[in-house]
Structure 1
């Protein structure tokens, strides 16, 4: 629903019919498909995603040299009251549409039955050049498939930069900055208890993340990781990231920054970023300002992927996310997938031992525009940071090379160094003592991109310094691990107080 219609400012609420994903059913479908592929039983196959069966049939027919005839009466339905339009457009998940030669149908159906996958023959490939779909014997679709799949109408939406952009970018932030030990403690406790920064385990624990025993790491780690080969321990990691506040101020840079963060989160675990997907969420495209946000986001993502050498494997666009004239902030969610040769060698986000040295990788600037600290104080203006993707790529190389000596690695993003440190010490209940120089508020709250905190054994410090110099990345030793508190200069925050502030917000909101 949200892709085609806005919510009205008055009147009854609309409830989008979004199916809840079923990871187990998806896994069974994948395994069934892999066995079918291994026996070379399909001529073509298409996932049922956007626009459902209408898209899958038209794309399959358009990709071949013939036509196709489909009988909607034979489509397996969860709800028998669905109209033909609903059957065609439904985006129910965990479905595939396959083309199988008649001589291989029996074996195809046998494999589906083995995996307990619902299956039915819904049509056939024809000698013609038309996609014909029937319902109760009546022809309801009769079109050349290319007109649907490749040659459909193209909208030429007006595009205009919204007036708010220059006005917001010109705003000078006037934020209170913590200075005294008491102010630093209060600021950190308040920051990590906001809904954006608070612990999300109340939500993420709803799913069983460890079915089949191949989940190596999950939230709140920087990326999720699974083992895909039990003999070699080959694994894949994936991270999804977005910062709508940055995209609101500068959608071009916002897309590049989200891409960089997702890739960085893959590398902190020791995996090499390889591919990109995306989910681009915006208000109504009939608004010229929203179209400008969208166009700038796509341009930024394209430029970023080209510069970093990361192909886009697929994606999704969701428009009309607004109520009346009020649209959501432009929110490009960027996913990056990476590969790790041996999941046993991964780098976790936190440390388990005292006596390790903590280093801050990367440069900290006065980047408070679009930050969580600014949002907390009701200030949305200023300028978003500028992504330096060349430096991000050198940082990724450093993280991969340093995998053998990093005991832990955790990237800095929303909430800056303050949130990163809090998450690291709470994960394994091991404290840390930090000595920070310069303006303490900027050091803790700035959200400059391209930064990571790593834990290193003192014996490996010299080797780490050499690696950083080779990759032209700045590093600074900022403290050490140990104790039962997070100590920053003269400010001491006991871990039990830190944990209470971090974990109570979400259960209170949803409980």
Structure 2
């Protein structure tokens, strides 16, 4: 590990001397793209991160958001965080994904919150490639193993397959935590000179050395063998103990500030904590409890061994913290204290680090990078048979059932999951929050992005990702509250790649601002580039919303009402682009991506209200795969629908993926029309029934699909992975 010549010169100028080996390694990691956001920090100001509900915004381990409660009720907070573990999951799919879960859970703990829900958004190469399925299997196994062992339910997320992830998959994991007593809130800002710094958790080993710098470089052809030492190895049983120990420490008010040991290990966590508080520190590295013999200062500083937390503790509370650690069979080290001066580390009596903490944590210069605009698409559409296209799109791996994934997750542990995976959004029961009507609150959660959309048009595709997540929440009767993002891109030094990345930031920011959804935190992962080329710009968004009570309308037909499609411009007679659709992915061709309508925020608000009507029997978002997939997903063994689509261009009607649409089954169509009057078009397309089949009259052709056939089409992932 070494600094670039230009960075080395800056450090020499600041210190007035050459850095020690430990200092050079610290700067190299903390000034890496992964930690310092050197190519993205200037773009992140585009996000609106403020709002009355925002308690702690970007910059801490996790954001803190207040839930809406009755005027006389106690405040209840949630925490939100999101993390990427992309490079490690390519090198070692199981451990790379598992430790991503562990890290985002510890980010939640460091705010004084208890983790209540996880989501995972996963992106792999083409599904028909053996290597993609190998990575897919290992990642899902790693997530399920870690999440199930620690007792935190994985309740949602997304899976996408795209050729350009072949050499660099993405694993984006988010976590929601709960703070029921606002006095428990902890931050990562050092509080007072003289306080002690202690480590609680697993012993430090040599695993994960240089993980931050590894995550800031393109993956090499031999990464699966040469970079394996940079991948951490997790121990979920130790993490479960750490969760419970953290609860007790926070309950007993023994912690002044906290930081998870993630990227850049102890050096990263302790220096960032000290820098945020404008303080200094003196740390004795040889006091750190170690797993392996003969470790040197640089290894102790930068190892990314898992299940470790750094706490700031008042001197009189050190013994109490030690007792809690011993109670839960966790290691403990009293390693130093908060000071007024520099960030200083000693090892065996010798000073190995003596630098200004703020310069180390925040002094990395920003990169001034060029951008190139994305080319405009032409219109060149395939001429596919309508029934063949219907079955191909419904049965594509991207739109097929992901039951194989979520059935491996314990999504009900904790007894809060009111709406389970497989629907538009999960709903968690927050019984501790009292709503205006005296009921508890339902917290709806949606997460994901679509690489086909952002490949076709990075800006509009990112806007669509935001609206689609908001629509998922609204379809369950929830009003969007806040979001966190994980912005994934390729090598930013390539102007076309950086141009696409800049566009997804702008698109996501503009859409969230229009939706009045503050983006309260996030993560940036660049250099997702390999010998196969850069990944698509991928703006994973995890969004939450709230609703009164926990009972959300299902996403499947009940067989009891009229069938309406709301917000569909194609059914209203407009020509809507097929760009970014699964239809074009299956049959080839090119077209413009459908721009997001300016009325999208009003549509989301109206849908959230309508979905809670007593007359609404089912509500389901229309997006990935278009109307064809949405209708197929709603068929059950006992219920179906008869649909009549009167339109000139049925391929565009069935397969465009414009967002801001929903299918609603209702016994009161007039109430739905009234709610969307002046907001979005409402089309009556048929009725639901007890047939167990989907009959679609499309012009001169009638497509009839029995439930068993729909299940067979949508089970492609289940069959291949089983």
Establish whether TM, by shorter chain, passes 0.5.
yes
Mapped pair 1:308 → 2:308: no
**How is 1:97-246 mapped onto 2 (pairs within 5 angstroms)?**
97-113=310-326, 116=328, 118-156=330-368, 158-161=369-372, 165-166=374-375, 169-178=376-385, 183-184=386-387, 186-229=388-431, 232-246=439-453
In the other structure, the counterpart of 1:288 is 495
Mapped pair 1:467 → 2:467: no
Deviations 1:12-38 (A, max 9, x none): 755666568888876765554444334
In the other structure, the counterpart of 2:662 is 452
- CA distance in 2: counterparts of 1:348 and 1:78, whole angstroms: 50
Contact 2:274/2:338 (8 A) holds in 1: no
SS at match of 2:676: helix
Contact 2:282/2:339 (8 A) holds in 1: no
In the other structure, the counterpart of 1:40 is 253
Moved more, 101-110 or 230-239: 230-239
- CA distance in 1: counterparts of 2:233 and 2:411, whole angstroms: 16
Mapped pair 1:348 → 2:554: yes
In the other structure, the counterpart of 1:250 is 457
- CA distance in 2: counterparts of 1:361 and 1:22, whole angstroms: 48
Contact 1:238/1:336 (8 A) holds in 2: yes
In the other structure, the counterpart of 1:493 is 705
SS at match of 2:708: helix
Structure 1 residue 138: Cα displacement: 4.4
SS at match of 1:240: strand
Mapped pair 1:373 → 2:580: no
Counterpart pick for 1:63 among 273, 276, 283:
276
**How is 1:492-511 mapped onto 2 (pairs within 5 angstroms)?**
492-503=704-715, 505-511=716-722
Structure 1 residue 313: Cα displacement: 2.1
Counterpart pick for 1:442 among 626, 641, 652:
652
Change beyond 3 A, Cα 1:394–1:195: same
SS at match of 2:410: coil
In the other structure, the counterpart of 2:568 is 363
Figure out how many residues of one structure are paired with residues of the other and give that number: 491
Deviations 1:321-371 (A, max 9, x none): 22237111111111111223311x3222123x3232111010234221111
- CA distance in 2: counterparts of 1:216 and 1:259, whole angstroms: 24
Mapped pair 1:431 → 2:640: yes
In the other structure, the counterpart of 1:382 is 591
- CA RMSD in angstroms, aligned pairs only: 2.8
Structure 1 residue 411: Cα displacement: 0.6
Change beyond 3 A, Cα 1:109–1:357: farther
Structure 1 residue 93: Cα displacement: 5.4
Change beyond 3 A, Cα 1:313–1:24: farther
- CA distance in 1: counterparts of 2:553 and 2:380, whole angstroms: 37
- CA distance in 1: counterparts of 2:444 and 2:235, whole angstroms: 20
Deviations 1:358-402 (A, max 9, x none): 1101023422111110011233x43222223x4221122112211
Structure 1 residue 230: Cα displacement: 6.3
SS at match of 2:617: strand
Deviations 1:296-321 (A, max 9, x none): 22222222222222222221112222
SS at match of 2:352: strand
Deviations 1:413-446 (A, max 9, x none): 11001111111114x6522111111032222111
Change beyond 3 A, Cα 1:145–1:11: closer
Structure 1 residue 171: Cα displacement: 1.7
In the other structure, the counterpart of 1:411 is 621
Counterpart pick for 2:632 among 419, 422, 446:
422
Change beyond 3 A, Cα 1:74–1:171: farther
Contact 1:278/1:316 (8 A) holds in 2: yes
SS at match of 1:421: helix
Change beyond 3 A, Cα 1:138–1:252: farther
Contact 1:173/1:369 (8 A) holds in 2: no
Structure 1 residue 197: Cα displacement: 1.3
Contact 1:280/1:333 (8 A) holds in 2: yes
SS at match of 2:282: strand
- Any stretches of 5+ residues in structure 2 without a counterpart? 1-86, 88-213, 434-438, 571-575
- CA distance in 2: counterparts of 1:384 and 1:87, whole angstroms: 50
Moved more, 102-111 or 411-420: 102-111
SS at match of 2:564: strand
- Any stretches of 5+ residues in structure 1 without a counterpart? none
- CA distance in 2: counterparts of 1:413 and 1:272, whole angstroms: 19
Change beyond 3 A, Cα 1:11–1:430: same
In the other structure, the counterpart of 2:482 is 275
SS at match of 1:488: strand
Mapped pair 1:400 → 2:608: yes
